Each structure stands twice: as structure tokens, then as C-alpha cells.
Chain A
Amino acid sequence: EDQVTQSPEALRLQEGESSSLNCSYTVSGLRGLFWYRQDPGKGPEFLFTLYSAGEEKEKERLKATLTKKESFLHITAPKPEDSATYLCAPEGDTGRRALTFGSGTRLQVQP
């Protein structure tokens, strides 16, 4: 059974203070590791897909990296608009498209 743990549960940063979010996962045959952003009262919004260990992807102040057991979401010089809950979801090679989401990291960036 796919398992995913995200840490920390909550993170408060000052504007410009860089940090990283962690996603630890266990899946049988990783098909892809997805990152989503969720704002309060909204549905999750797709950010990245990583497919293999060593892969990195960037979008504005966000960079996602992947190892065989973890993925990190690095946030460089965050701004208040980066405040959201960040969800990761590994997808195993089960033959069906279904994501197991972590409980998320709630990020608050203060001006």
C-alpha cells in the first residue's frame, strides 16, 4: 500500500526566509511524484511531476527534487502569496491512475 508522510505539518516563515518541505514516500514502482498547492476554500492546483530520482523542476520561487524515498519542495525567498498548503502525492505502478496524497504542509509567509 502506498504511504506518504509530509513534514512539517505547519511552517511559518518571514518573507525572504528560504526553507524546504519534505515528502517521504513508500510506493511499489514509482510512476510519478506530484506536488500540488491548495489555497483555503479551493481545490488543489498542480505544480510539478517528478519521474525519477535526481530529477529537479523549478517554477518561480519553488524547486522540487526527488530521491528514491523522498521529495523536497524548496522555497527560495518566499513571498506572502506563497502562503498555502502544499500537498505531495506519489503514484505507484499499480496499473491504475490514483494518487495517494499526504496531509500537506501548511505554509504561512509573513511580510
Chain B
Amino acid sequence: DTAVSQTPKYLVTQMGNDKSIKCEQNLGHDTMYWYKQDSKKFLKIMFSYNNKELIINETVPNRFSPKSPDKAHLNLHINSLELGDSAVYFCASSTVNTGELFFGEGSRLTVL
């Protein structure tokens, strides 16, 4: 039973399109994150939600809009995709106390 699952695993799309990535965790954690890993393998935080409330919003274009319908789900919608958005996007969750992150397997986005 997967702890943090995200779908789809792969997305290939054209510039200008809109796409969404979904994430669900069954660990009972109260905090969820989106991280972006670029081609150089740097892993950078984009957003963090605690109990459905946005608590971290790094310098990310407003074309990226996270939504948390409940504390077990965190989705990422991206409008008007650009070539530079190509990356692997990881969802993660944690308890606010430990900070230990549990990651999903990633969603590889390729923008052509």
C-alpha cells in the first residue's frame, strides 16, 4: 500500500497547455509539499500545506497553483506550460514535528 502516491508518473505536452498532477498520502500526516527536481538534480521546495492551509510559497510563477481539498491530498495545476517547466515534480508529506519527508515516486513533466 503506497504511502505517498502521485499521478501521472509521466506527462508529455506542448508549450502553452495546462496540466495537473495529483498527490495523495495515507500516512495521516498534516503537512504536504511539492518539490521540483531539475535536470541538474537540485531538489527545491515550491509549496507546503499544513492542514489544507498554504504555509510556504516559494518564488514560483503564478502559473503554478496548488490546491489541497483535504489534508490527505495536494494537487498541482500548471497553466500555460513553458519549456523551462520540464522537470520531475515530487510530492511529499511529513508531520510538523519531525520534518522527516516521505516522497512520492515523482511525476516527470516534459514540455515540447
Contacts and interface: CB of A to CB of B under 8 A. Distances in A.
Q: Decide whether A and B are members of one complex.
A: yes
Contact of A49 (B40, B48, B100): B100
A53 interface: no
A99 B41 contact: no
Contacts, number: 54
Contacts of A34: 99-101
B105 A41 contact: yes
Interface stretch (A18-26, A64-72, A90-98): A90-98
A87 B104 CA distance: 16
Given A85-B41, A97-B94, A44 B103 contact: yes
Interface residues of A, number: 22
A43 B106 contact: yes
Main secondary structure, interface of B, reads: strand
Nearest to B44: A101
Interface string A71-107: 0000000000000010100010000111111011000
A91 B100 CA distance: 11
A97 B48 contact: yes
Contacts of B43: 44, 87, 101
A43 B104 contact: yes
Interface of A: 31-32, 34, 36, 41-46, 49, 85, 87, 91, 96-101, 103-104
20 contacts: A36-B101, A41-B105, A41-B106, A42-B106, A44-B43, A44-B101, A44-B103, A45-B103, A46-B100, A49-B100, A87-B43, A96-B48, A97-B48, A97-B94, A98-B45, A98-B48, A99-B45, A99-B99, A101-B42, A101-B43
